[in-house]
A and B are shown apart, each in its own frame.
Chain A
Amino acid sequence: MDKNIIKQHGLSDEEYKAILKYLGREPNLVELGIFSVMWSEHCSYKSSRVHLKKFPTTGPQVICGPGENAGIVDIGDGQAIVFKMESHNHPSFIEPYQGAATGVGGILRDVFTMGARPIALLDSLRFGAANHAKTPQLVNGVVAGIAGYGNCMGIPTVGGEVYFDESYNGNILVNVMCVGLVKKHQIFRAKASGVGNPVIYVGSKTGRDGIHGATMASDVFDEGSEEKRPTVQVGDPFTEKLLLEACLELMQSAQGRKDVVGIQDMGAAGLTSSSVEMAGRGGVGFEMDLAKVPLRETGMTPYEIMLSESQERMLLVAKKGSEKRIKAFFEKWDLDSEVIGTVVKGGQLSLKVGDELVADLPTIPLTEKAPLYKRPIKKPAWQEKIQELDLATIPLLKDWQEPLLKLLASPSLASKQWVYRQFDHMVGIDTVMIPGGDAAVLRLKGTHKGIAMTTDCNSRYCYLDPFEGGKMAVAEAARNLVCVGAKPLAATDCLNFGNPEKPEIMWQFEQAVLGIAEACRVLGTPIVSGNVSLYNETKGEAIYPTPTIGMVGLLENVEDHCQLGFQQEGDLVVLLGELSEELGGSEYLKVIHGLTRGLPPRVSLDLEKRVQQLCLAGIHAHLIGSAHDCSEGGLAVALAESCFPRELGVEVQIGFPLRPDALLFAETAGRVVVSVKERDLPAFLEMAREVRCPAVVIGKVTRKNFVINQLIQTTTQNLKQVWARGFETSLGV
């Protein structure tokens, strides 16, 4: 085989040698293509697998952990929640609308392929600096793409996050999370079995779009990346909607439950990964005739058919004899369904076109025996330097109102209404808490229960200290859920990092994983699904390490959900947690002083646990009227955000001997701002003592004035104005 062709397929010399060993011969081009996508970083997790083993993945609530299309947790009453987060970073940078749209399409299929009806979407988005020439266009494209797909599907987009930082100028992040609901006895898995059973292709026809998408996602960007546009898939949400309804009708019917043996969506690496993985999990082989694959273009080669990443397709294995019954479900929705192969004994994937054999590969080397790298790890030489921060060099300002206004107007902290107004966040009529809160809350029809969900990561913290940053992402996600009244259940992750071949990047990766693992263990939220996106680099410049955490929590009674906004004049404002001088890595240093330095706030998981315990207990006992997580922008921003929904004011007096900027803007972990009725205060403080959680009355809700010590004296209206318009103004959208 020509060396250039091997290189074009992203395979190293050693990897090619391994292929020769497994096959005992040279592969042909189709086979090489199949190896290249299956062994790509995107599909094989070859650099990350050794580290991912460190995550806690089990618990009494876990029905299905990592390894399937999505994770599943038990929520009682015979119901379960299916969820996962996935990245679509590279395609979204090259072609923002379609890249983001197909990101949504892909994660939806991961959830409904398990038999669950998707009930919500969340998006964790990171763009370059707001004033970077490309940013507004990327923001417009990505938001429109998510809206275009999710809205048409009728799945509400209920939450997420949007951050801006130069670190993403050449490599944006689009992480999409989907949450689905399933009856426990109707869960389907992606495992083939039963020699002689038919392999059935359903959904859209196969075209030439997205060929080598998985390989592209496993490479860094350079000057010519825009030329890779044809590798971006094109989404058709209408067809996906039909596919969703047809699949669920089939899977939820009594006969369908008996007929369908296994089912998997055709995502990255399309027909290749779905067939290889399903056969691999079941320890069987597939024999498929590619001439039977429904095609949308003429003259497609076997190579193109196997590597196409055309969207809205599924592969299923059914009981022999059920072919006609299954076809009827898809015919109703005007979708193609074709028997394209059979389950065979042994572990061989044999591909034919008519009678001609075009590829013949054992599946084990493609899956279990895929390369596994223990990449070298080295702490970056600059790491300790960026952690140095001498507060004495940070000048104290004369006026503290100006920096607060500036922070509220900065696009990362300003209202995201411009974004979520474009997302249908109410379809499905389950959305109890709409976007803009600490977490979204959905009711579950026919029960009293509610489900809360959130995504979280502060990548600046992760850059400054990936271990603490990883811990913080988990702690904050859990805190967000607790603030709305939900008990955190389990998490999914989307680990976005640079080039794993650089030891410094792998150090970041390992540290972040260790931090996440520790926090998940202490807070009792196992990782049940996830995704790794590496090679997020442009011209040698890596993004900040961004391990996004998606988390799901349960409310036994959805009526108990709690808002972040202060409820009534006269209520007391109580701060749970502690004050400190931790200004490292803060928005304040970044936005006001242009610095990304220092040690990020350190999470004491023990304190975090107690704060969350108190907050949740206080909400359930109806002692807390509002609760808001205190994070980016610190106490001042948290107080302002608590004032906005009902346009109330606050008057705060805190004895604090340290720097005023630390009082206002430090992002100390484990803090929640709550409001409590005066008559409920004694009971609440007693509760705090019982769980040994610091809780201090810091002020009172007022009609409209916003006052903190002698430092800030303004009105809520003044602050809200800049916050409400900040996003559009910064971006010029």
Chain B
Amino acid sequence: MKIGIVVFPGSNCDRDCFHVLKTLKQDVRYLWHKNATFPKMDALVLPGGFSYGDYLRTGAIARFSPIMKEVVRFAKGGGKVLGICNGFQVLTETGLLPGVLMRNEGLKFICESVPLEVVNYQTPFTTAYGARSSVQIPIAHMDGNYFADDETLRRLEGEGQVVFRYLNNPNGSARNIAGICSKKGNILGMMPHPERCAEDVLGNQDGRKLFESLIG
């Protein structure tokens, strides 16, 4: 599979995603944010980090990067897009996913491995998990407090767009939401970092299945 990882200035999980996808023997390459076009891809990853320093609202400047027009076109055409952490924030800022990620309830950065429920295991990113599975995946963010209005939340839940839920809500997210997908399921945004638990040597491989689902 041909997978592009978008690199914004300040992205810092791009190399991690690259490494994991390489170990899964994929044809993976970096896509520089200044390029308005990119070669044909099977999937895109918007990695974690602090795009543009996150000095404004997280992800708010990255959405204006030259590459984003093409990313939006790719996503709207049904292309698979995975946004992790800062990538999720960029996806909500772009409008590809509804809602917004606010500052954590406790106003502090949180880095720890947290238990999650895989709510929807029928998206292109979660088929390998199976029904009613709970997994342990690390989070590392300052702004992961998911918010959307009640109507949006009802719709997300009703249409199976809630993909991951925290079992012990760490950041104040509405309805314990840790990850959501688009209506068609081809765009996934999640705060937890599956790339941080995809190898045996790190003591936890719960994130590996997400990439295996994506690769198919």
Binding site for B on A (CB under 8 A): 144, 147, 151-154, 236-239, 241-242, 333-334, 420-429, 431-432, 443, 445, 558-559
B203/A432 in contact, CB under 8 A: yes
- B108/A422 in contact, CB under 8 A: yes
A429 touches B20 (CB 8 A): yes
- Pick from B51-59, B92-100, B175-183 the stretch touching chain A: B51-59
Residue pair A443, B201 in contact (C-beta under 8 Å): yes
8 contacts between A and B (CB under 8 A): A154-B13, A154-B50, A238-B52, A242-B10, A422-B111, A432-B203, A443-B201, A559-B201
Q: Which of B53, B111, B193 contacts A237 (CB 8 A)?
A: B53
- Contact between chains at B12 and A241 (CB < 8 Å): yes
Known contacts A238-B50, A238-B52, A238-B55; decide if A426 and B201 are in contact (CB<8 Å).
Answer: no
Q: Does B184 contact A (CB under 8 A)?
A: no
Contact (Cβ within 8 A) B19 A424: no
User: Which residues of the partner chain B approach A428 to less than 8 Å between Cβ atoms?
Assistant: 15-16
Q: A154-B49, A241-B50 are in contact. Are A427 and B140 (CB under 8 A)?
A: yes
Q: Mark B99-140, 1 if CB is under 8 A from A, else 0.
A: 000000000111110000000000000000000000000101
- Which of B20, B55, B111, B195 is in CB contact (< 8 Å) with A425? B111
Q: How far is the CA of A238 from the CA of B58 in the complex (A)?
A: 13
Across the interface, B12 reaches (CB within 8 A) one of A154, A333, A425, A431, namely: A154
Do the beta carbons of B52 and A429 come within 8 Å of each other? no
Across-interface contacts of B9 in A (CB, < 8 A):
238, 241-242, 333-334
For residues 127 through 161 of chain B, which have their beta carbon under 8 Å from a beta carbon of chain A?
A: 138, 140, 142
Expressed in whole angstroms, the Cα–Cα distance for A422 and B141 within the complex equals: 9
Closest chain B residue to A157, Cβ basis: B111
Known: A238-B50, A238-B52, A429-B16. 13 other contacts (CB 8 A): A152-B10, A152-B50, A237-B50, A238-B10, A238-B54, A421-B108, A423-B111, A425-B111, A428-B15, A428-B16, A429-B195, A432-B203, A445-B19
Q: How far is the CA of A432 from the CA of B15 in the complex (A)?
A: 17
Residues of A with C-beta under 8 A to B110: 421-422
Chain B 33-57: CB-based contact to A (< 8 A → 1; otherwise 0): 0000000000000001110111100
Residue numbers in A under 8 Å from B52 (CB-CB):
238
B139 to chain A, nearest CB (A): 10
Interchain nearest-CB distance for B135 vs A (Å)? 16
Report whether A426 and B53 are in contact in the complex, using a CB–CB cutoff of 8 Å: no
Q: Which B residues are in CB contact (< 8 Å) with A238?
A: 9-10, 50, 52-55
Chain B, range 169-209, C-beta contacts under 8 Å to A:
193, 195-196, 199, 201-203
Q: Note all chain B residues with C-beta closer than 8 A to A429.
A: 16, 19-20, 195-196, 199, 202
On whether A236 and B53 interact (CB within 8 A), knowing A424-B109, A443-B201, the answer reads: yes
Contacts of B199 in A (CB 8 A): 429
Please give me the residue from chain A that is nearest to B17 by CB atom: A429
Q: With the chains together, A558 CA to B111 CA distance in Å?
A: 23
Residues of chain B within 8 A of A333, CB atoms compared = 9
Which of A238, A333, A559 counts the most chain B CB atoms within 10 A?
A238
Known A151-B140, A152-B53, A154-B49: A427·B12 in contact at CB below 8 Å: yes
